[in-house]
Amino acid sequence: MIDTADTSSTRPYLIRALYEWCTDNGLTPFIAVLVDESVRVPNEYVKDGEIVLNVSFDATSSLNLGNEFIEFKGRFGGVARDILVPVDRVVAIYARENGQGMAFPLLASSAGAVDSTRKDDGRLGTLTPVSTTPSGDGASAPRPTGGGRPSLTRIK
């Protein structure tokens, strides 16, 4: 019997799979990221502790979707920036055009702060569709449809 505490997170594998699905279907993959001191992104595009990044082939160069980090060069306001996102800070990946994708469990404590010591429990969720408004060459701010933030639905 395999102890799940010894297995790696499914998050980087699912991110790569959904990235490939978006690309294969001519869709634009976006990732939503909770920003803290471990995330290297242009702070002027961070809103309410989050940033949404366009990780399509056209918007990035040297993209590496690794098991620990997502790294690439992206243009923000015409200026090339090095981006580094720990995979455990990615809370969703979805297609810009239709909102289809996946949300990952939020690692928040009851006080509302992010608890970086918790691991995701491996359960999958689905992301409700969102529309986006571009706020730069490599970023866009999500605007939920239906009057609320994207919600996570647990699938057991």
The more confidently predicted of residues 131 and 153 is: 153
| CATH class of residue range 27-107+124-145 | mainly beta
User: pLDDT exceeding 90 applies to what percent of the chain?
Assistant: 61
Q: Where are the domains of the chain?
A: 27-107+124-145
Q: Kindly report the number of other CB atoms within 10 A of residue 141's CB atom.
A: 15
Residue with tokens 């790294």: 71
Q: Per DSSP, which regions of 27-139 are E strands? A: 29-34, 50-54, 60-65, 69-76, 79-86, 90-95, 101-103, 124-127, 130-134
Model confidence at 154: pLDDT above 90: no
- Residue pLDDT, tens place only, 23-69: 999 999 999 999 999 999 999 999 999 999 999 999 999 999 999 99
Q: Kindly report the number of other CB atoms within 10 A of residue 80's CB atom.
A: 11
CA distance 102 to 105: 10
pTM comes to 0.69
Backbone angles phi, psi at 89, to 5 degrees: -95, -10
